[in-house]
Amino acid sequence: DGGITQSPKYLFRKEGQNVTLSCEQNLNHDAMYWYRQDPGQGLRLIYYSQIVNDFQKGDIAEGYSVSREKKESFPLTVTSAQKNPTAFYLCASSIRRGSEKLFFGSGTQLSVL
Amino acid sequence: AQSVTQPDIHITVSEGASLELRCNYSYGATPYLFWYVQSPGQGLQLLLKYFSGDTLVQGIKGFEAEFKRSQSSFNLRKPSVHWSDAAEYFCAVAAVSDSNYQLIWGAGTKLIIKP
């Protein structure tokens, strides 16, 4: 079955540590996205990528980094510069940027030890 | 600035009762509107969307939504809820300008089903 796989489902970060969240899709979609979800708030866009080897900052990119070396993969690194990383992180993809339908992964809950 | 407001943080409905979840948006042009559903600990799934045409749109799982331009609203409805509908529901509007496309999300409404 086609879809988006995020791993791990739960992740813990120590102070000063960088952690990387994985996102893989086999839908052959060009566009991929990372969102952050906090309780009582809508989704906020961290980064997006319209095509391989290209990515753009979203609304809250500070303290995060991404890469898009392969079409299928869009990993997100939460760096030590992100002072409030505890959140639920959602990866999504769409056929292209501006396509009306987003497909979401099942998310990664990141917590700080 | 574009925005989406979901006035109700929580809504509790008895199983079998009707449901209406409210969504108001602020956007200058004709909006593209969406409703997504999120089960606990999961990603979001598209329920329905409005781009143009008939203002009453049908979605999956028996949901429908009506676009009312005069009220800047896109409320989600279901005639009879099932316990499996318990989830969080998000309204979103796509702001499109030139080559820029941005999805703006509401804060969500958590639906609780009473047996």
- Work out the minimum CA distance from A4 to partner chain B, whole angstroms: 10
Query: In this model, does residue A99 exceed pLDDT 80?
Result: no
Q: Cβ contacts of residue A66 below 8 Å, gap of 6+?
A: A34, A46, A47, A49, A55, A74, A75, A76, A77
Q: Which of B45, B101, B105 sits opposite A98 (nearest CB)?
A: B101
Average pLDDT over residues A45-61: 94
Q: What is residue B98's predicted lDDT score, i.e. its pLDDT?
A: 64
Q: Searching chain B, which residue's CA lies closest to the CA of residue A47? A: B102
Average pLDDT over residues A2-11: 92
Q: What is residue B99's predicted lDDT score, i.e. its pLDDT?
A: 63
Distance, in Å, from the CA atom of A113 to the CA atom of A110, rounded to the nearest integer, reads: 10
Is the Cβ pair A4, B106 closer than 8 Å? Answer: no
Position A8: which residue type? P
Query: In this model, does residue A100 exceed pLDDT 80?
Result: no
Q: Which of B4, B43, B104 sits opposite A105 (nearest CB)?
A: B43
- β pairing state of B64-68 and B19-21: unpaired
Q: What is residue A69's predicted lDDT score, i.e. its pLDDT?
A: 97
* Backbone CA torsion sign across B51, B53, B56, B61: negative
Q: Which of B27-31, B36-40, B61-65 has the lowest mean pLDDT?
A: B27-31
A91: tokens are 């990866």
Average pLDDT over residues B30-42: 90
Predicted confidence (pLDDT) per residue in B47-97, tens digit: 999 988 889 999 999 999 999 999 999 999 999 999 999 999 999 998 776
Please choose, from the candidates A35, A89, A31, the residue with its C-alpha nearest in 3D space to the C-alpha of residue A59: A35
CA distances (Å), origin A105, targets A25, A94, B65, B96: 9, 12, 25, 25
B81: tokens are 């809820």
* Structure confidence at residue A1 as a pLDDT band (50, 70, 90): low
Please choose, from the candidates A76, A61, A58, A79, the residue with its C-alpha nearest in 3D space to the C-alpha of residue A16: A79
Query: In this model, does residue A27 exceed pLDDT 90?
Result: yes
Average pLDDT over residues B7-23: 97
Partner B contacted by A83 (CB < 8 A): no
